Amino acid sequence: MKLNKTKGIVLNQFKYSETSLIVNILTEDYGKMSFIINGVRKKKSKIPANYFQAFNILQLVFIESKKSDLHRITEVSTEALLSEIIFDIHKSSICMFIAEIIHISYKSSEKDEPLFQFLEQIIQFIDSAPSSQIANVHLWTLLRLMQFNGISPENNYSATLPYFNPIEGCFTNDKHKNQHIYKANLSEKISLLLATKIEDNSKVEMNRTERQELLNLMLQYLQLHLDSFKSSKSLDILTEVFSS
C-alpha cells in the first residue's frame, strides 16, 4: 500500500454521510483531487473537521484509489489555521467564492505548480491584509485566474480603445460591435485591475453597484470562453455579505 505525500489547498467540501466528508483539494503535486474522510464529523475524530475550510493549506498523506476518483487521507496537518479568514465573514466569503470558481473552471488532474503558488500568495494576502484592502481582491484574482485557463484579457486599453470586448478579450473603439461590450466606466476598471498589484487592488475606486456589475460581467466572460463553466453557488452569499 503506497502512501503519497503532498501539500494541498482546500476548495470545498460536502457531507458524504452523518460522519464523513468528501473534500475537493488542489494538490501541489497531483493537481485537483477528491478525498473521502471517514468519521471526521465525529466528536472524537483524530482529524479536526475545521481543517477542511475553503482555502486552508494542508499537508496530506493519502492512499490513491485505483478503482475510483475518491482517494483516502490517512494523515493531515497544518502549520497554522488561517488566523483571520476563519473569523471574518467578508474574508471567508471571498475565499469560498474564489475556491468555488477554481473548482468549477479548473478540471486538470495534472500538477500545476504556478497555479498552486499563485493561490498560496492570494490566501496569505487575504488572511493578513486589513479588511479595507480587500474590497476588489476577488475581481483582481478572477482576472489572474483567467490566464491559467488561457483566456486572459489583453490590456490594450487607451483613450481611443475605451470599451472592453469580452468576445475577443481586448479593448475596442466600437461600443456597438456586439451585445456584450462593456460600458466605458467598467471597461476602465478592468484595465486598472489588470495593471494593479494585489496589494493595491482596493485603490481601484468603485462603488458597490459597479463592483457587483463588474463581477457579474466577469462570470459571463468565463461562461463565454469556458464551455464547462457553470454559475457560482457562492455568488449569492458574496453579494449579500458585501451589500450589508
Check if CATH label 1.20.1410 holds for domain 89-243.
no
Mind listing the pLDDT tens digit for each residue in 47-66?
888 889 889 999 999 998 88
Domain-wise residue ranges, the chain: 4-77, 89-243
CA–CA gap between residue 198 and residue 216 (Å, rounded): 20
% helix, strand, coil for the chain, step of 5: 40, 20, 40
pLDDT of 149 over the 80 cut: yes
**Contact predicate 154/169, CB 8 Å:** yes
pLDDT of 43 above 90: no
Question: How far are the Cα atoms of 3, 66, 151, 188, 219 from residue 111, in angstroms, in the given order?
Answer: 18, 18, 19, 35, 25
For residue 198, give the nearest of 148, 150, 127 by alpha carbon. 127
- Residue scoring higher pLDDT (180 or 107): 180
The x, y and z cell numbers of residue 138, run together, are 476577488
Identify any residues that bridge with 35 across adjacent strands, giving them in sequence order: 23, 71
For the chain, what is the mean pLDDT?
A: 89
Query: For the segment 103-140, what is each residue's pLDDT rounded down to a tens digit?
Result: 888 877 788 999 999 999 999 999 999 988 999 999 99
pLDDT at 23 over 50: yes
Looking at residue 48, its pLDDT comes to 82
User: Which pTM was predicted?
Assistant: 0.90
pLDDT given for residue 39 in this prediction: 81
* Residue 105 confidence (pLDDT): 85
Separation CA 77–CA 79 (nearest Å): 7
Grid cell locating 3:
502512501
Give the pLDDT confidence score for residue 244 in this predicted structure. 47
Instruction: Write out the CATH class of domain 4-77.
Output: mainly beta
Tell me the average pLDDT across 147-174.
96
